[in-house]
Amino acid sequence: MKKSLFPIAIFLLGLLAGCEKVTTPVAPEVKPEFSPLEKSVLQVSQAFGLRLFQELDRTTPGQNLFISPFSLSDALAMTANGAAGETRQAILNTLGVPDFSPDELNGIYSRLLQVLPAVDPKVTFLPANSLWYDPGALCPESGFCRNFTEILFCPGHRAGFPAIRSGGSHQRVGAGRHAGQNPQTTG
């Protein structure tokens, strides 16, 4: 009997010796707290995204399109900074925030741009929004440029439009912002 249990005991010891407890650290789930105003912007942004996808589906049936509703709403919010009167109100209505002041809207998008990338570490969020202007034809107000660069984290670029049309400078900026991604698709 002793001989027949010996191989089984050796086998079991071999199994136990090969076992180890492996613990992979799990990143804590990030659940940002949002103010009621921020929550309302997130809700209307979701509604804006759904309307946008429905319209794209209606106008381009069968096409394989990829867009970022958040990036587009961020770009429209930036555009609202430089708009006035009926144009500004139309942009705010489209975004679903008709009564927001520029400071409210900028503050909310600034916070979202800081918080959202940390929610899911597997997702890389690198918006390509930027401000381009020809200093010979346009001189933006300093507050307008500050909103873009300091509040909405978008670079501003002074460049003559012949340089932009040639495809040089904007593609280099796009390549730098997108960490090795194809600038033709992201710039």
Structural domain for 97, as ranges: 34-53+65-121
Which residue, 151, 157, 185, is CA-closest to 170? 157
In sequence order, the 6+-apart residues with CB closer than 8 A to the CB of 172 are 183
Angle between helices 102-119 and 69-82 (to 10 degrees): 160
52, 74 contact by CB (below 8 A): no
pTM over 0.85: no
- Report percent pLDDT > 90 for the chain: 8
Q: Does any domain span residue 26?
A: no
- Which stretches of the chain are DSSP H helices? 2-17, 36-59, 69-82, 85-95, 102-119, 142-146, 161-165, 169-177, 183-186
pLDDT of residue 149: 67
In sequence order, the 6+-apart residues with CB closer than 8 A to the CB of 157 are 130, 131, 132, 133, 169, 170, 173
- pLDDT tens column, 29-63: 667 888 888 888 888 888 988 998 899 889 998 88
Residues 130 and 116 in one domain: no
Buried b / exposed e over 141-164, threshold 16 CB at 10 Å, is eeeebebbeebbebeeeeeeeeeb
pLDDT of residue 126: 73
Q: Which of 105, 121, 137 is the last residue of a domain?
A: 121
Q: Which of 121, 139, 164 is the last residue of a domain?
A: 121
- pLDDT tens column, 131-154: 776 766 666 666 666 666 666 666
Residues 43 and 94 in one domain: yes
Q: How confident is the model at residue 185 (pLDDT cuts 50, 70, 90)?
A: very low
Averaged pLDDT for residues 89-113: 89
Which residue, 34, 145, 45, 150, is CA-closest to 100? 45
DSSP state, 26?
Answer: P
Question: Which has the higher per-residue pLDDT, 118 or 57?
Answer: 57
Q: Which residues are bridge partners to 156 per DSSP?
A: 131
Amino acid 60 reads: T
Number of domains in the chain: 2
Averaged pLDDT for residues 13-28: 61
Residues 144 and 169 in one domain: yes
Residues 114 and 38 in one domain: yes
State how far the Cα of 160 lies from the Cα of 157, in Å rounded to an integer: 10
Residues 49 and 105 in one domain: yes
